[in-house]
Amino acid sequence: MPKLSVNVDHIATIREARKCREPDPVAAAVLAELAGANGITVHLREDRRHIQERDVKILRQTISTKLNLEMAPTPEMVQFAIDSLPDMVTLVPESREELTTEGGLNVAAKVNELEKVTSSLKIHHIYVSCFIDPEIEQIKAAKKAGASCVEFHTGSYCNAFDYGEDDMAWQMELDKIEKMAQMAVKSGLEVNAGHGLNYQNVHYIAAIPEIQELSIGHSIISRASLLGMNQSVKDMLGILEKTTSQASTVI
């Protein structure tokens, strides 16, 4: 069963809509942990549109599971990570114009630059992952850059599954993720996945044995706004457990 890291960015999005104190993403993270989440993910963006430095620092002192900091590979963010010491950093692309992360980091285009970033983080015992599209070139580049893990961007699969009219489209995307996960593991990398995963499309991704962790935010936070964090996290964990159990039975 893949582990579940709950992304609480959108709790901060609601807070920042009014520039006030609530709702608090730290409180949401604690509730997610109590419901069984294996980790907490936050993305400290350069424009600080949701998560703030304060949130990361307090999360580091508060949560008892794994803290995964998503960030752009810039000098400012690297220094912040070194100062705050999350358990894990996931290097992601970032554009101020985008509503959400639109694709994987092009590691192949900046291997030398990213090698310096990963080296700086690993010296401080921070586990480093690269958020990439499921492509051979990017897997090889992430390994060369010194990452210990890759997180596959699952947006294309999720969009094809949720909005496409052709079942073949999402099945092709799923097959690609599965094959690339196998290749990444053979390359000595751990494999995570995330982006766009929800209660309807997650089960096929969760059934891929090489994927160790799923980072899910928007769908859990959306459900939590209606049902509460406890129920929403448990509902997702239930799907992951059922999917893994069924896959084991088939094998």
Q: Is 10 a catalytic residue?
A: no
Q: Fill in the amino acid letter for 120.
A: S
Mean pLDDT of 232-241: 98
pLDDT in tens, 189-211: 999 999 999 999 999 999 999 99
Q: Where are the domains of the chain?
A: 3-250
Would you call 190 a catalytic residue per the annotation?
no
Decide if 43 is catalytic: yes
Of 33, 153, 195, 210, the catalytic one is 195
Q: Is 222:188 a contact under the CB 8 Å cutoff?
A: no
**pLDDT for 166:** 81
The CATH classification of domain 3-250, taken from the options 3.40.50.1820, 3.20.20.70, 3.90.226.10, 3.40.50.720: 3.20.20.70
pLDDT on residue 76: 96
- When the pLDDT of each residue in the chain is averaged and rounded to a whole number, the result is 95
Catalytic residue from among 10, 33, 50, 70: 70
Q: Tens of pLDDT along 28-45?
A: 999 999 999 999 999 999
Active-site position among 10, 43, 50, 153: 43
| 3-state secondary structure at position 150 | strand
- Backbone CA torsion sign across 189, 135, 3, 222: positive
3-state secondary structure of 87: coil
What confidence category does residue 104 fall into, taking pLDDT thresholds of 50, 70 and 90? very high
- Confidence tier at 251 by pLDDT (50, 70, 90): very low
pLDDT above 90 coverage of the chain, percent: 91
Task: Give pLDDT, residue 247.
Answer: 61
Residues 6+ apart with CB under 8 A from 197: 154, 158, 205, 214, 216, 219
Average pLDDT, stretch 66-88?
Answer: 97
Contact 121, 109 (CB under 8 A): no
Q: What residues contact residue 20 under an 8 Å CB cut-off, 6+ apart?
A: none
C-alpha 198/C-alpha 218 separation (Å) is 8
Whether 250 has a pLDDT exceeding 80, the answer reads: no
